[in-house]
Amino acid sequence: MSEVTGGRAVVELLKAEGVRYIFGIVGATFLDVLDALYDDHGVEYINVRHEQAGAFMADGLARVTGQPGVCLVTAGPGATNLLTGVAAAHVAHSPVVVVVGGIGLDHYGKDAFQEYDLVSMFRPVTKLALQIPRAKRIPELLHAAFRAAMTGRPGPVFVEISRDVLNDHIAEAAAAAPARYRATYPQPPHPDAIREAAGLVQRAQRPLLLVGGGVARAGASDVVVQLSERHSIPMITAYGRNDAVPNGHPLYIGPLGRAGSPEAAAACKRADVLLAAGTRLGQFTTHFDDRYVKPETAIIQIDVDSRDIGRYYSVAVGMQADAREACVALLEALDREHACASRQAWRREAETLRGQRQARLAAEAALDAKPMKPQRVYAELRRALPPDTIVALDAGAAPAYGYDRLHFTQPASFLTPLDLGGLGFAFPEALGAKLGRPDRPVLAIHGDGGFLMNAQELETAVRHRINVVTLVMNNNCWGSEKAYQKHFYAERYIGCDIGNPRYDQLARLFGAEGYYVDRPEDVGDAVRAAFGAGKPAVIEIPIDPDEFPTPVAAVRDRNKSHSNPVR
Ligand SMILES: Cc1ncc(C[n+]2csc(CCOP(=O)(O)OP(=O)(O)O)c2C)c(N)n1
Ligand SMILES: [Mg+2]
């Protein structure tokens, strides 16, 4: 029987999962995997300039495709550099699969060169972290990793394989198709839960759909829209999940949460039944208190993971199920047995709130301050961006205005750092997203501080021809944090002001395209030119350095809460 190296076996297993790209930086511990790619162009190694960016890329690809995003890096610093990106995947429930080439087997336990307990380091940010001790166990344990990453609520996994194990040989065997070793069908809801939920919705006077990332992941947006239309249930979205339903729909009010829309918050306060679909009701959506979600509101919570059902708010019905399966069943139950009232007054109320939001945002198109207000930048973007654009938004004050100001027409379009809130996320995330969806325009939105954290990936983008457009709103400061010192520390600014190169010029030095825009009427043209440039492009826009929203939560009690609504 013929044999293959452990490295080749890893490649075959990745290919059986449909993996097209692997992100990382070359290292001596996994050359047997790389060598297997030399003649095999089914998988491309995207050699990045910092492993953190590679992890964000894998996350971006996984978020827009639902497929595994794979990183392959070396032991020690190669792996530790990944941690922040893997944490981003963890909060986003992204199936990122980390493979680390480990040190030689003889050196484990000796504090050898680049030896760290990586399994322990990665355990808190993954669903499963393990070592593969022998070559013959590579198929079994990689299957375990993919099973964990891709089933239930997805998430990242970590696999360390010693260089000796990768170099060893195992019997050649065809890699099994995913359906042979893991569940590939979605989880249906319990019929009793559907009956109870349908009864509650039917009796409600002001039911409201709060739509989360689980809906987009389950491909349930269309069913949610049908539920909304057929049974007069207006829609709002969870924080950073604006793309879960088409924003142009007349029953969509806006996004709930910290930098979300006040109109969505008003609707949430009025709801008597909240149908929370595919959302864990996390901190940025709800603040974990009763400012939006009222104690008298009955909550129906649908989540594929029982861990978060009823965790922050007690529920009237807790339903563990795939969001699409649950919404289809609920729709059928409501259509069949529970003729809902037309709820004309509630529909009108929702439409009025939607109209108020649209008018508020439209008025920002008239802001003509120089340097520009970030709000005006978003008004121009709404006009210029193709409707199918994927947007990756960084942390920071200027990016955060986007939570309420960007419009989406389809799922898997809005990539945000979510509960990680990490800077430097958006540009590499956008690069991964573009590899996953080359057919769609992809835009990264950054402040000046966050962009320079991973700007080195301009070189990767140019070399691999990943044509993403990046917009940098430059206020020469760490604005989101400066806001605290402005409002609560009597403008005693420390650690907040920074200097920057001209980012349009920096982009050109890397071989990308660069634009500098300081007049609002030129934003649209620059965006269109950048998307047509045929290479990666950066647009720098100087913005008003004094425009920071007040950190609202902190105003209530500076000593108790330092949370910033726009971070
Ligand atoms: C990796 C990381 N380091 C630090 C922070 C804390 N932080 C949050 S927002 C922010 C300022 C961001 O500045 P910039 O990217 O220029 O955007 P701006 O707020 O100025 O619009 C900082 C330092 C963070 N969220 N992530
Ligand atoms: Mg800034």
What are the pLDDT digits (tens) for 387-432?
Answer: 999 999 999 999 999 999 999 999 999 999 999 999 999 999 999 9
The confidence score (pLDDT) of residue 30 equals: 97
Ligand 1 touching residue 481 (CB < 6 A): yes
The confidence score (pLDDT) of residue 339 equals: 61
pLDDT band of residue 553 (cuts 50, 70, 90) is low
Which atom of ligand 1 is found nearest the CA of 422?
A: 26
The region, left, alpha or beta by phi > 0 then psi within -120 to 50, assigned to residue 526 is: alpha
Ligand 1 touching residue 160 (CB < 6 A): no
Ligand 1 touching residue 52 (CB < 6 A): no
pLDDT band of residue 336 (cuts 50, 70, 90) is confident
The confidence score (pLDDT) of residue 567 equals: 37
- At 93-148, the pLDDT tens digits run 999 999 999 999 999 999 999 999 999 999 999 999 999 999 999 999 999 999 99
pLDDT band of residue 551 (cuts 50, 70, 90) is confident
Instruction: Say yes or no to pLDDT of 338 above 90.
Output: no
Ligand 1 touching residue 448 (CB < 6 A): yes
Tell me, in angstroms, the distance from the centre of ligand 1 to residue 424's CA.
Answer: 9
Instruction: Say yes or no to pLDDT of 560 above 70.
Output: no
Tell me, in angstroms, the distance from the centre of ligand 2 to residue 75's CA.
Answer: 34
Tell me how many degrees the CA angle 319-324-327 measures, rounded to the nearest 5: 60
Please give the full DSSP string across 268-328, using - where no structure is assigned.
HHH-SEEEEES----HHHHTTSTTTS-TTSEEEEEES-GGGTTSSS--SEEEES-HHHHHH
Please provide residue 174's backbone torsions phi and psi, each rounded to the nearest 5 degrees: -65, 135
pLDDT band of residue 550 (cuts 50, 70, 90) is confident
> Can you tell me the mean pLDDT for 435-457?
98
Token pair belonging to 219: 């491909």
Q: What is the DSSP letter of 47?
A: E
Ligand 1 touching residue 418 (CB < 6 A): no
Half-sphere exposure of 366 (CA within 13 A, CB side): 4
Instruction: Say yes or no to pLDDT of 485 above 70.
Output: yes
Ligand 1 touching residue 503 (CB < 6 A): no
Instruction: Say yes or no to pLDDT of 263 above 50.
Output: yes
- How high is the mean pLDDT of the chain? 95
Higher-confidence position of 436 and 558: 436
- At 19-40, the pLDDT tens digits run 999 999 999 999 999 999 999 9
Half-sphere exposure of 82 (CA within 13 A, CB side): 36
Ligand 1 touching residue 542 (CB < 6 A): no
User: What is the bridge-based pairing of β-strands 96-102 and 44-47?
Assistant: unpaired
Look up residue 120 and give its amino acid: S
For residue 132, the SS3 value is strand
Dihedral angle, C-alpha 50, 54, 57, 59, nearest 10 °: -130
Q: For CA atoms 507, 509, 514, 516, give the dihedral sign.
A: positive
Q: Whose CA is nearest to atom 16 of ligand 1?
A: 449
Which atom of ligand 1 is found nearest the CA of 543?
A: 21
Name which of 119-123, 288-292, 305-309, 334-338 the model is least confident about.
334-338
Ligand 1 touching residue 85 (CB < 6 A): no
Ligand 1 touching residue 422 (CB < 6 A): yes
Which atom of ligand 1 is found nearest the CA of 567?
A: 9
Tell me, in angstroms, the distance from the centre of ligand 2 to residue 546's CA.
Answer: 10
Tell me, in angstroms, the distance from the centre of ligand 1 to residue 449's CA.
Answer: 6
- Which residues lie below 8 Å from residue 463, measured CB to CB, with a gap of 6+? none
The confidence score (pLDDT) of residue 412 equals: 97
Tell me, in angstroms, the distance from the centre of ligand 1 to residue 287's CA.
Answer: 20
The confidence score (pLDDT) of residue 340 equals: 63
pLDDT band of residue 337 (cuts 50, 70, 90) is confident
- Which residues lie below 8 Å from residue 329, measured CB to CB, with a gap of 6+? 188, 189, 191, 194, 321
Tell me how far apart the alpha carbons of residues 522 and 217 are, in angstroms, rounded to a whole number: 36
Ligand 1 touching residue 164 (CB < 6 A): no
Tell me how far apart the alpha carbons of residues 217 and 209 are, in angstroms, rounded to a whole number: 17
Q: Whose CA is nearest to atom 20 of ligand 1?
A: 479
The preferred substitution site among 423, 473, 481, 543 for testing ligand 1, maximizing ligand atoms within 8 Å of CB, is 423
Helices (H), 151-274: 163-167, 191-203, 213-217, 221-231, 262-270
Ligand 1 touching residue 544 (CB < 6 A): no
- At 351-366, the pLDDT tens digits run 999 999 999 999 999 9
Q: For CA atoms 161, 162, 167, 172, give the dihedral sign.
A: negative
Q: Whose CA is nearest to atom 8 of ligand 1?
A: 396
Look up residue 57 and give its amino acid: M
> Can you tell me the mean pLDDT for 500-512?
98
> Can you tell me the mean pLDDT for 516-531?
98
Tell me, in angstroms, the distance from the centre of ligand 1 to residue 320's CA.
Answer: 36
